[in-house]
Structure 1
């Protein structure tokens, strides 16, 4: 039988894994994951660590090993091809620059080693070149991309063979996942176990919980205290669950709902959720076509923007000490749990780039470090969208008022008080803007202005005017 190495990357699952499923039909299988040393532990490293442990257990149930090795991809593959007499390398495609070497590097290596290489469908809904304009170009605007995507053939989940044949690895030099010390004894990531449960099986359970309880109310997802979000994002990021499986399951639920009134609701909310899933595909395609987007604005004039290099205010933003309760609540939730809902992400990001006029790349790097669901494409395109520097982005002159956003999406202050306990006793009338509370109210709430809760870093109207003035300096440049 053909001896096949299956290289896992952002697809840490056994269900709907095209490369693994086909390898099981074609020969003997050796699953491999290559991890790369990182000086500083990120929140997503915690999720990755435990997802790898789960994957190893899932593969063991299929009588397959999982070799996890720390090193560079080329060297490790060269070693394993020689050590296990590998005849073919199977892997699912990836289109973007990540911590590991890209598809082209592996393709060239396979040719050098004279082994067969097969690429399979990526961890997306559609293949890279599927959704194109009439001019055969990739879309720069999401809405027409979405209209084309829902008319396209979404990739169907693949089926696994009845059984697998494993390559014997009893003498392998690979290490146990726990011995690799991916978390480097990091204390700050330990708390994530209180909020997250990595694992392929749990990801599918979470999908069912979302469908049964939250999907009918998905239109209320913008309200952070209601917890309507699916919370599937970290599972999708590491590939614990396939976006194609999610798509199929949501569509199935829309078709199976018998009650006419319920069906109308499920269809409306189901398509709203799938639209968010499609945005991920859009982000991947944009970053694949414009790989410099992590470092450069897609709209070139934004590369001339007069950003302020204010480390003191940046640290205050990171710690949730801006004096704007919704911003601070979001940043403290992020640090504690590794996650914040999409509305709050937009508000905190907008505050950084528009109220504080701090470079979006600083915020992008902080999210990369602290988001448990960090996904490079989503993160890069999300920051460019908020900044206004993306091709399809919110205009820069749209400056979120963090107080009005709080009043609209957290009207009773439930979310704010959850993450800012120092404001617990503050009346609702002042919880969104404590700076306006009279001294007597502050005393009753045990608040000392500027001490137990910080004064606002900036005044909204003035910050907005300064941001727009800075934008006027670059909006006409080419």
Structure 2
């Protein structure tokens, strides 16, 4: 007698390797139905942004191919999970429903309700961890609480064993004839205007691309990672973030591959080993962000430090628009924002620079920058996005102090000393020598003329004077500090 089918609900786990829900379904031995649900309404403001929707299309196409190789069709449905999942389970006579956990607050609440509703119908329901090295509630302080500082969290994380990733099922039996929507009909790709050309040239979504990117990084770039990771003009980072966000590769896979690399270095790992550990620490920052989101579910909307709720923000729409479109007059800021628009991605050092400029030079609320990143980043991840914006803004856990304000000129000169990054994304400034590339408004008139640049026409003058903007930001911070002390 054939066991009743297993329904596997895919979410942000779009892979077949190290996928615990899919692995459990294969072990159960019954016919498998693989489902992806597009629920545009459930997440409210945090539904898939434009760049994420582009990536999702490619990722789902890749997943459908990988499942098809194993005899399983990917079923696509659109609508509310609370309605569609129980209906489909009943339609196929499912005996079990498996999924991998997500940690956004609304998904946690919805999944609990779904588990209860399905269990009451007699269906076996089980969820698994595919997205993190450890569950957010598993890493605790000695007092049994949650962490608010990264360094002790990272030390605690290193004391815990990480489970080995599981291989992809070799073959399964799929249940045929289940109605599916058509991916092309979902409108995930831009129509007119087609703004995704730069994304297509930069990225290949999917599990195989993710595995290839990790392998190439460990073979070619990791040795210089610790020293070069802050240089946006160099290809020295893994660029795994969108693949991790969509679950095309899991953190256990990244951890295991990097630890194997470290083992090959032997007892004296040297430069390469130190870089590999630095890379794992960055993976741990992602983990820390989820830890914060789980324990502080208001993190995407409200400052972790409550005194910042009274901060005197500005509502300068023209300044915000200039920041969004790379027209601030500060070359490293503008280069970053143009890279973001063109490729859906932004180098981490430049993310910090542009975020500091928005919040501290322009006094525009961090939530507005967070929302812009959400729509334009292919790796927009609620936990990492919220935690990192709050960190830069000085209002989050383990945050950089508010009085630490990045100077965009000095940051550009330090981390893009040869100007490769700025010249790539701001070709109108390419003819300027390095000495004036990051401060074109100080260039002599004759040099600007020879370089073919008219400031205010070819490239904007600075939106604000950084020194005065810094003084204004510090005064605003001092104001809320005094209010908090009274």
Shift of 1:189: 2.3
Q: Structure 2-normalised TM-score?
A: 0.94
Q: Distance in 2 between matches of 1:191 and 1:112?
A: 48
Q: Distance in 2 between matches of 1:162 and 1:235?
A: 22
Contact residue 16 and residue 169 of structure 2 kept, 8 A: no
Contact residue 36 and residue 100 of structure 1 kept, 8 A: no
Distance 1:162 1:55, change over 3 A: closer
Equivalence for 2:44: none
Shift of 1:29: 1.2
Among 264, 269, 274, the alignment partner of 2:280 is: 274
Distance 1:197 1:160, change over 3 A: closer
Aligned pairs (5 A) from 1:47-196: 47-97=55-105, 102-168=110-176, 170=177, 172-183=178-189, 185=191, 187-196=194-203
Equivalence for 1:30: 33
CA RMSD, 1 decimal: 1.6
Q: Distance in 2 between matches of 1:297 and 1:238?
A: 26
| Most deviating of 106-115 and 62-71 | 106-115
Q: Distance in 2 between matches of 1:101 and 1:35?
A: 17
Shift of 1:142: 0.7
Stretches of structure 1 that go unaligned for 5 or more consecutive residues are none
Distance 1:115 1:40, change over 3 A: closer
Secondary structure of 1:475's aligned partner = helix
Contact residue 74 and residue 109 of structure 1 kept, 8 A: no
Secondary structure of 1:34's aligned partner = strand
Instruction: Write out per-residue CA displacement over residues 185-234 of structure 1, whole angstroms, 9 at most, x where no aligned residue.
Output: 25112431111011211111111110111000002110011110101111
Distance 1:126 1:100, change over 3 A: closer
| Most deviating of 151-160 and 317-326 | 151-160
Q: Distance in 2 between matches of 1:295 and 1:424?
A: 39
1:214 aligns with 2:221: yes
Shift of 1:37: 3.0
| Most deviating of 242-251 and 30-39 | 30-39
Contact residue 19 and residue 130 of structure 2 kept, 8 A: no
1:431 aligns with 2:415: no
Contact residue 57 and residue 188 of structure 2 kept, 8 A: yes
Stretches of structure 2 that go unaligned for 5 or more consecutive residues are 42-46
Shift of 1:96: 1.8
| Most deviating of 331-340 and 124-133 | 124-133
Secondary structure of 2:432's aligned partner = coil
Q: Distance in 1 between matches of 2:182 and 2:367?
A: 36
Secondary structure of 1:15's aligned partner = coil
Q: Structure 1-normalised TM-score?
A: 0.96
Distance 1:162 1:204, change over 3 A: closer
